[in-house]
Amino acid sequence: MTEQKQDETGSAGYVEPGSEFTRDTHYIATRITADGRDGYPVESGRYRLVAARACPWANRAIIVRRLLGLEDVLSMGLCGPTHDERSWTFDLDPGEVDPVLKIPRLQDAYFARFPDYERGITVPAIVDVPTGQVVTNDYPHITLDLSTEWTKYHREGAPELYPEELRDEIDEVAELVFRDVNNGVYRCGFAGSQSAYDSAYDRLFARLDWLEERLTTRRYLVGDTITEADVRLFTTLARFDSVYHGHFKCNRNKLSEMPALWGYARDLFQTPGFGDTIDFVQIKQHYYMVHTDINPTGIVPKGPDLSGWLQPHGREQLGGRPFGTGTPPPPPQSGEEVPAGHGA
């Protein structure tokens, strides 16, 4: 019998007996575009991004929204770090109801559009506020569309995260990182057999070694500025030592024991828009409390020591311009800050 698994998107994957974890990548393909070709044109104030700080896939959207300065255009609702088999919930809000959508569970927005929706209730999701209906949960396209379709509303000085002349290389690198790293840690953690785990483990660390070599001589993954590729890798690296190393048995070595990757991760963490979105407390609560098949006691570890994230990284010597000809984003808006004591 196929065993269902949920990662922190609340999604869907499955493990055949004695086999490997397979992610369900069938998302709602509707897109919000400048020309509105899918029936959802880009409009200021119309949509709400629903995310969770615990989730690396949703964390991407939180970062890109910050970097591009879309906070006043695209509101954001945050779910708590845990969910049940039904849905993510708005348990961080007063009355445990989203103050804009007026719903207690994200599934309500999915069912408003698709009453018989049977797939995972995932974050990130963008909801059409006037109708209360989910528009899309296609997380790879969400961030790309924020960069390419929402340009009318980008802040002055916003970086170009998906420059046209680098898109082929960004896509190529991002696909390798997704296959072996972003999703690779889950293939380790949810493996259904020793051989499946061993294979996923070997692919993960072979790719991390490849990234270590690549980042030894260059500051960013593609080109000399931050791009979508860096956003996608960072959210996995930010969770590696706190969660994946122990919880998912990705334990050949820690991130902090790989000099180039550790310096690269600290460089991004200390860049406005990245580290100020990371909530280590919620990250650990989610993984260790939700994945009861892996951690049946639900005990959340106290470590690791996070002070290293703020140590000098020395990556400036490699050159590069984090925001190209642009500028860093301002500090997070009031109410969107990571709670005190939850960061590094």
Written as six digits, the tokens of 174 are 């991002």
Please state the φ and ψ torsions of residue 136, each to the nearest 5 degrees.
-155, 150
Q: Within its chain, how far is the Cα of 322 from the centroid?
A: 20
CA 223-224-226 angle, 5° bins: 90
Q: What is the CB neighbour count within 10 angstroms for residue 230? A: 27
The CA–CA distances, whole Å, from 142 to 33, 57, 97, 154, 334 equal 10, 10, 24, 15, 24
CB 121 within 8 A of CB 8: no
Active site residue 55: yes
Can you tell me whether residue 329 is helix, strand or coil? coil
With b for 16 or more beta-carbon neighbours within 10 A and e for fewer, the 107-142 pattern comes to bbbbbbbeeeeeebbbbbbbbbbeebbbbbbbbbbb
Written as six digits, the tokens of 38 are 């899918």
Residue 258: name the closest of 220, 222, 200, 215 by CA: 215
Q: Is 88 annotated as a binding residue?
A: yes
The answer for residues whose C-beta is within 8 angstroms of residue 334's C-beta and 6 or more apart is: none
Active site residue 186: yes
Give 158's Cβ-side CA count (13 Å radius): 23
The residue count of the chain comes to 344
Q: What is the CB neighbour count within 10 angstroms for residue 344? A: 17
CA 160-149-239 angle, 5° bins: 60
The catalytically annotated residue of 40, 47, 186, 201 is 186
The catalytically annotated residue of 40, 55, 79, 197 is 55
Beta strands in 53-95 (DSSP E): 75-79
Largest CA distance in the chain: 55
Q: What are the binding residues for glutathione?
A: 88
Q: What are the binding residues?
A: 88
Residues acting as catalytic residues? 55, 186
